[in-house]
């Protein structure tokens, strides 16, 4: 996937990319972000925090429940250059099987200061992979937050010009953009969310709107005997 240009990786390479974007006529963007979790599935999941930035799921067994917290951040850059628009903190607790959520949507609002006065909301589906615990193997017991494959860009219009926002993935402490974000059993991890804004070239604007506003989320529910996950 594309290399990150964001708060944790700013340096000579990032500066060169931004300078190149500016010289190439890219459009500057800046603002702040906020977000809440909505639409957890399945309906039988034990959840809290729907409609807030702090979402938990599962009936806990000896630890707190699984938890995702979104923290919005300021952003600044140019169209065509990846940027960080928030942080996810993820705690992997021990919960009872049959009480887990298998997906949740993250609804992100970007409040732009450049271009001035533009506020846009975007919804990104997240798959929650609740792995059965394997005694003595923390890697095999890790739980995962995953972006669905083929995630379509979101579109918006400013002053008659169409733009797309693409969610590229997560960046953790090791750098590099990935579509899986994991935490070992009983531990916490953090990752940045990285996206890119691009103008939609004419005459393909309407065609992209026709296909890009549709997204399919596949949700798999696991059946079987009750166990700790």
Q: Where are the domains of the chain?
A: 7-212
The confidence band for 52, taking pLDDT boundaries of 50, 70 and 90, is: very high
Instruction: Give the model confidence (pLDDT) of 70-92 as tens digits.
Output: 999 999 999 999 999 999 999 99
Q: What's CA 1's distance to the chain center, in Å? A: 15
Q: Which residue has the higher pLDDT, 213 or 98?
A: 98
Going through the chain in order, the beta strands assigned E by DSSP cover 28-41, 47-48, 54-57, 66-71, 74-78, 83-91, 103-114, 118-129, 143-146, 154-158, 161-171, 180-183, 188-199
Helix (H) or strand (E) holding 18: helix 12-23
**If you ran DSSP here, which 8-state letter would residue 7 be given?**
G
Q: In sequence order, which residues have a C-beta less than 8 Å from that of residue 36 and are 6 or more positions away?
A: 51, 52, 53, 70, 106, 107
The confidence band for 213, taking pLDDT boundaries of 50, 70 and 90, is: very low
Instruction: Give the model confidence (pLDDT) of 111-170 as tens digits.
Output: 999 988 889 999 999 999 999 988 888 888 899 999 998 888 999 888 888 999 999 999
Closest CA to 93 of 147, 137, 143: 143
How high is the pLDDT of residue 220? 31
């Amino acid at each position: 996937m594309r290399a990150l240009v964001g708060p944790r990786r700013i340096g000579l390479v990032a500066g060169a990319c931004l300078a190149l974007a500016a010289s190439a006529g890219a459009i500057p963007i800046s603002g702040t972000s906020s977000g809440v979790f909505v639409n957890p599935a399945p309906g039988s999941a034990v959840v809290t925090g729907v409609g807030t930035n702090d979402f938990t799921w599962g009936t806990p067994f000896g630890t707190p429940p699984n938890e995702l917290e979104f923290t919005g951040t300021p952003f600044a850059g140019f169209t065509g250059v990846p940027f960080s628009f928030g942080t996810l903190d993820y705690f992997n607790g021990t919960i009872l099987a049959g009480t887990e959520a298998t997906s949740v949507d993250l609804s992100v609002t970007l409040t732009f200061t450049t271009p001035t006065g533009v506020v846009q909301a975007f919804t990104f589906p997240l798959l929650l992979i609740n792995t059965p615990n394997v005694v003595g193997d923390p890697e095999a017991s890790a739980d995962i937050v995953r972006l669905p494959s083929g995630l379509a860009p979101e579109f918006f219009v400013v002053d008659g010009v169409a733009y797309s926002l693409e969610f590229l993935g997560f960046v953790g402490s090791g750098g590099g953009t990935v579509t899986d974000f994991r935490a070992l059993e009983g531990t916490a991890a953090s990752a940045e969310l990285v996206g890119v804004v691009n103008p939609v070239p004419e005459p393909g604007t309407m065609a992209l709107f026709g296909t890009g506003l549709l997204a399919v989320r596949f949700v798999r529910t696991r059946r079987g005997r009750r166990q700790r996950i």
